[in-house]
């Protein structure tokens, strides 16, 4: 599993002392090659954390030897001092590994607006570099060290019969929205892939996984997903097969993030069909998934389809009320924007909710559909996000 | 106060029997003239309630004799049967008043997706028409009869020294967002105003009042604000003075709606200055006001400015992080997107919170600013919106 599933990678996750709790808070993933293609997708937030600025810069080369990650602080809104901290950390890792700082990406997660303790980070990075291993335990230690309000580590892998593997880990529990989550993700592969293909595959995979997860509509300053390829399997991957495998790993991680989102009591899938375009399908699904009244109704196990219809109606997308159908957990409740089935027949007592919205503007082979995954809005979400700074 | 403050208006609010609780649920406002100019602003939701469709149609004439309103059911997503109910209610009111149905607007509020009891509504309308009065008590009865989850009635008035009055009432507690609220509002005036001027004044007033209130980002199927002019004062109002008075009444009502919003423990004002345009200022302010993480932080009295900066950063507006300042309750916490002041100095223990965001992209006489009013996201909000259908 995780970042050490593919050949050619070593990893470590340690307690550097950033978190006052003493829990592990620093991770290192190293690509031993022979190849070093890499690609990344970053937050679209205009306020970007220092490690995002650093990693975007180094990734212009399309190659990485290592990624250093920390929890316990986002290193966002920290100015030049924060950028120097990210730079110095990458430099320290590079020194120990014998490569250039430009081959080392950095990721941070935690509270915005506080400086990271630079010396703690530097000595932690050195310690992690001294404890690298290619074992599943080392991969699991990375998954644990990047957790913030996550309650469980998240790992996934796909082994292709052709002889290559894709594995990865991610964290993310709140502030999860358009263009990914407050999420960090590191994915590794030993398939032989050229950099432009790796980049294209990652964009496609993120588009249909992390980008389709929307917990609370908030977009983080730190979102980062990186993919590193060692080529150690010696097997060249078919682009379509590789993209599908990478997408599966990303979707698996996104589903784990959904299940572990802050305060979740319901896992909700909003599926929109018959939209005028795929963008419209995503917009309508996302608008419903973000609607506070829909989310609180789901928390109350209330099949309040009127709130779903209202949210669809204010989405910035083509919609004809006379063709709007709403089905919740298999029960058609609204046909042509008019009350249809019996609310009482709709059972929302379980943990999974499927909201299906048919727009009736396309269909068959030309039908435009999209699914957005979200969660309910519960007392626990409010508690977790109000009781302390995060 | 309220809809009977201006001369030429009579009103009634009664218990028609729509609400099972026996509380008042039907209101009638009648314009006795001599003039009958009217204007309306309606929800931009593509899924519109039957009374919205009806009222938009009758208002194409620019004149109204009466408005009939009910709580206890939105008459939304009710199809042709629901539209016939709205039509029949207007017709019954018109019969009693001796005018045409086309001179009677209708407004409804309550649960989406259930048919209103037509006969109950018709006999209620008749009963209300029989009990019309021009007293303050009659105006207050209208304010009470349109309440849903509101805990207090909302009324406002402005008396102009020139001899005319603007008065009104509104309801709205949740589902309050872009393009007004799940709100109904009826405003009356005895100023002499031509219809195009009345229409322009209402649009301007709504733009700077109800449209700048955003409780939960949800846009209702039923939002309606109507203004009726009797001209009974005989005094022709100056357009600018009239627009200012109407705006004051609307802002007063919007502030009452904010204070009474579902589950509110904090009244939050987000003020954005120095934006590249007024639209940008509104977009940034609205994005911050809608951010679930900002709202939960405020509920927790936590001056978590990092969440404010992050929300500003993902707003669809021009932003340069190096010019982004965040001030909360007078304490500058973030300068140029970098930590500045001391969180501990920022006192959020009171009920009012002012979040100021300077974008530094315009200034002085050419500065673009906007204020959005919102509330925190509390346990009570979750409770009120999950415990029962509304």
CB contact under 8 A, B386 and A339: no
Q: Is B262 part of any known ligand binding site? A: yes
In this prediction, residue A40 carries a pLDDT of 96
Name every residue whose Cβ is closer than 8 Å to that of residue A89 and which is 6 or more positions away in sequence: A68, A106, A118, A121, A122, A125
Spot the catalytic one: B24, B85, B165, B182.
Answer: B182
Share above pLDDT 70 across residues of chain B, in percent, rounded to a whole number: 95
In chain A, count of helices (H) and strands (E)? 10, 15
Instruction: Find the closest chain A residue to B45 by CA distance.
Output: A314
Residues of A labelled catalytic? 182
Q: Is A295 part of any known ligand binding site? A: no
Cis peptide, bond prior to residue B390, ω within 30 of zero: no
Q: What is the pLDDT of residues B33-44, one digit of tens each?
A: 999 999 999 988
- Alpha-carbon distance of A381 to A367, in angstroms, equals 35
- Alpha-carbon distance of B152 to B137, in angstroms, equals 15
Instruction: Find the closest chain B residue to A114 by CA distance.
Output: B339
Residue B361 has pLDDT above 90, yes or no: yes
In this prediction, residue A175 carries a pLDDT of 46
CB contact under 8 A, B385 and A296: yes
Most confident of A165-179, A230-244, B302-316: A230-244
In this prediction, residue B366 carries a pLDDT of 87
- What is the arithmetic mean of pLDDT over A215-239? 91
- Taking alpha carbons only, the member of A153, A152, A228 closest to residue A191 is A228
Residue A344 has pLDDT above 70, yes or no: yes
List residues bridging with A11 in a β-sheet. Answer: A29, A133
CB contact under 8 A, B112 and A306: yes
Q: Is B85 part of any known ligand binding site? A: no
CA distance A324 to chain B (A): 9
Q: What is the CA angle A266-A269-A270, rounded to 5? A: 125
CA distance A155 to chain B (A): 26
In this prediction, residue A389 carries a pLDDT of 59
Residue B181 has pLDDT above 80, yes or no: no
Query: Where are the alpha helices (H) located in chain B, listed in sequence order?
Result: 50-58, 79-97, 118-130, 136-145, 195-207, 239-259, 278-290, 292-299, 305-314, 379-386
Cβ–Cβ pairs < 8 A, chains A and B: 210
Tell me the chain B residues in contact with residue A382 when contact means C-beta distances shorter than 8 Å.
296, 299, 377-379, 381-382
Confidence of residue A367 (pLDDT cuts 50, 70, 90): very high
CA distance A139 to chain B (A): 31
How far is C-alpha B48 from the geometric centre of its chain's CA atoms? Answer: 16
In this prediction, residue B178 carries a pLDDT of 38
Instruction: Find the closest chain B residue to A321 by CA distance.
Output: B47
In this prediction, residue B113 carries a pLDDT of 87
Beta strands in chain A (DSSP E): 9-14, 26-31, 37-42, 66-70, 104-108, 154-159, 165-171, 184-189, 224-229, 267-275, 325-328, 331-335, 338-339, 352-358, 368-375
CA distance A287 to chain B (A): 9
In this prediction, residue B10 carries a pLDDT of 98
Of the two residues A149 and B21, the one the predictor is more confident about is B21
- What is the arithmetic mean of pLDDT over A143-156? 92
Mutation target to probe the A interface, by most A beta carbons within 10 A, among B46, B290, B388 is B46
Q: What is the pLDDT of residues A45-57, one digit of tens each?
A: 888 999 999 999 9
- What is the arithmetic mean of pLDDT over A334-347? 90
Instruction: Find the closest chain A residue to B75 by CA distance.
Output: A338
In this prediction, residue B142 carries a pLDDT of 97
- What is the arithmetic mean of pLDDT over B333-338? 93
CB contact under 8 A, B292 and A216: yes
| Cβ-nearest to B46 among A306, A321, A386 | A321
CB contact under 8 A, B382 and A382: yes
Domains of chain A: 2-259 (3.60.70.12), 267-386 (3.10.20.340)
CB contact under 8 A, B336 and A178: no
Q: Is A278 part of any known ligand binding site? A: no
In this prediction, residue B389 carries a pLDDT of 59
In this prediction, residue A148 carries a pLDDT of 85
Instruction: Find the closest chain B residue to A309 by CA distance.
Output: B47
Residue B84 has pLDDT above 70, yes or no: yes
In this prediction, residue A180 carries a pLDDT of 40
Q: Is B182 part of any known ligand binding site? A: yes
Tell me the chain A residues in contact with residue B297 when contact means C-beta distances shorter than 8 Å.
385-386, 389
Residue reference for tokens 């506070």: A292
CB contact under 8 A, A219 and B310: yes
In this prediction, residue A16 carries a pLDDT of 97
- Alpha-carbon distance of B148 to B19, in angstroms, equals 10
CB contact under 8 A, B309 and A113: yes
Q: How far is CA B270 from CA A81, A177, A264, B281, B380, in A?
A: 29, 22, 29, 10, 22
Share above pLDDT 90 across residues of chain A, in percent, rounded to a whole number: 75
Can you say whether residue B210 is alpha, beta or left, with left for phi > 0 and alpha for psi between -120 and 50 degrees?
alpha
Residue reference for tokens 């009320």: A321
CA distance A68 to chain B (A): 23
Mutation target to probe the B interface, by most B beta carbons within 10 A, among A80, A116, A385 is A385
CA distance B242 to chain A (A): 32
Q: What is the pLDDT of residues A170-187, one digit of tens each?
A: 998 654 443 344 689 999
In this prediction, residue A220 carries a pLDDT of 85
Q: How far is CA A221 from CA A51, A224, B311, in A?
A: 10, 9, 9
Residue A375 has pLDDT above 90, yes or no: no
In this prediction, residue B275 carries a pLDDT of 97
Residue A218 has pLDDT above 50, yes or no: yes
- What is the arithmetic mean of pLDDT over A131-156? 94
Mutation target to probe the A interface, by most A beta carbons within 10 A, among B81, B262, B266, B296 is B296
In this prediction, residue A366 carries a pLDDT of 87
Name every residue whose Cβ is closer than 8 Å to that of residue A353 and which is 6 or more positions away in sequence: A266, A267, A268, A269, A298, A328, A329, A376
Confidence of residue B174 (pLDDT cuts 50, 70, 90): low
- Taking alpha carbons only, the member of B178, B202, B224 closest to residue B49 is B224
In this prediction, residue B66 carries a pLDDT of 98
CB contact under 8 A, A47 and B336: no
Share above pLDDT 70 across residues of chain A, in percent, rounded to a whole number: 95
Q: Is B230 part of any known ligand binding site? A: no
Instruction: Find the closest chain A residue to B297 by CA distance.
Output: A386
Query: Is B182 among the residues known to form the active site?
Result: yes
In this prediction, residue A387 carries a pLDDT of 66
Q: What is the CA angle B47-A377-B176, rounded to 5? A: 40
- What is the arithmetic mean of pLDDT over B86-98? 97
């Amino acid at each position: 599993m995780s970042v050490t599933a593919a050949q050619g990678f070593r990893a470590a996750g340690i307690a550097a002392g950033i978190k006052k709790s003493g829990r592990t808070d620093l991770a290192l993933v190293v690509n031993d090659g022979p190849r070093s293609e890499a690609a990344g997708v970053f937050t679209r937030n205009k306020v970007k954390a220092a490690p995002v600025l650093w990693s975007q810069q180094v990734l212009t080369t399309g190659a990485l030897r290592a990624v250093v990650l920390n929890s316990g602080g986002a290193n966002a809104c920290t100015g030049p001092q924060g950028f120097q901290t990210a730079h110095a950390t990458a430099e320290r890792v590079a020194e120990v590994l014998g490569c250039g700082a430009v081959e080392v990406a950095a990721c941070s997660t935690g509270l915005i607006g506080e400086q990271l303790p630079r010396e703690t980070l530097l000595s932690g990075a050195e310690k992690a570099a001294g404890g690298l291993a290619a074992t599943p335990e080392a991969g699991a230690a990375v998954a644990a060290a990047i957790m913030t309000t996550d309650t469980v580590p998240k790992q996934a892998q796909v082994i292709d019969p052709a002889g290559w593997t894709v594995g990865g880990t991610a964290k993310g529990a709140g502030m999860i929205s358009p263009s990914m989550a407050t999420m960090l993700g590191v994915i590794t592969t030993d398939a032989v892939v050229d950099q432009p293909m790796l980049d294209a595959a990652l964009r496609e995979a993120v588009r249909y996984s992390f980008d389709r997860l929307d917990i609370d509509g908030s977009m983080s300053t730190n979102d980062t997903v990186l993919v590193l390829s060692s080529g150690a399997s010696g097997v060249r991957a078919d682009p379509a097969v590789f993209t599908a495998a990478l997408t599966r790993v990303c979707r698996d991680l996104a589903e784990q993030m959904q299940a572990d989102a802050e305060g979740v009591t319901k896992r909700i899938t909003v599926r929109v069909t018959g939209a005028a375009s795929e963008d419209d399908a995503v917009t309508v699904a996302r608008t419903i998934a973000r609607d506070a009244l829909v989310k609180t109704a789901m928390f109350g196990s209330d099949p309040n389809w009127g709130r779903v219809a209202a949210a669809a109606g204010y989405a910035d997308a083509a919609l004809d009320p006379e063709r709007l159908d709403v089905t919740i957990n298999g029960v058609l409740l609204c046909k042509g924007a008019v009350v249809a089935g019996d609310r009482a027949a709709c059972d929302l007592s379980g943990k999974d909710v499927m909201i299906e919205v048919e727009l009736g503007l396309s269909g068959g082979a030309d039908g435009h559909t999209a699914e957005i995954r979200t969660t309910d809005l519960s007392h626990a979400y409010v508690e977790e996000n109000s009781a302390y700074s995060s």
